[in-house]
Amino acid sequence: MKAISMRAGRVPESAAAKNRFTDLFARITQEDDGYVVQIRLHNAAAARLGHAVWGEEIADSIESASEMVADVAARFCIPQDHITLEIRMNDMAESTRH
């Protein structure tokens, strides 16, 4: 499974690395050839200062996509109540492995 590569947004990379992220937003979008996983990490207290990083990867299944999100949340110690997940799918029943 691929790791999501993160990019610093509006702050130098060194400053983003020092930032403690408190919130995670993830969007999983079904495409013809897989799922696009977009993730944004930010610090709610410093959000107005633009302290955020984001990344995007392609997953082959909804399960792989959700594992990517879980891995990033675990790596940055983001609690479940600070995770927002948006899923955009054509047909949820057809997209899961049985």
More confident residue, 8 or 63: 63
Full set of structural domains in the chain with CATH: 6-89 (3.30.160)
CA distance 26 to 66: 9
DSSP result, 12-26: -HHHHHHSPP-EEEE
Mean of per-residue pLDDT scores for the chain: 80
Q: How many CB atoms lie within 10 A of CB 4?
A: 19
Whether the model clears a pTM of 0.75, i.e. scores above it, the answer is no
The phi and psi torsions of 57 (rounded to 5 degrees) equal -145, 170
Across 2-12, average pLDDT: 51
Q: Where are the beta strands (DSSP E) in 1-98?
A: 6-9, 23-31, 34-42, 52-59, 83-88
Question: Residue 69: its pLDDT value, please?
Answer: 96
Give the tens place of pLDDT for each residue, 32-52: 889 999 999 998 877 566 678
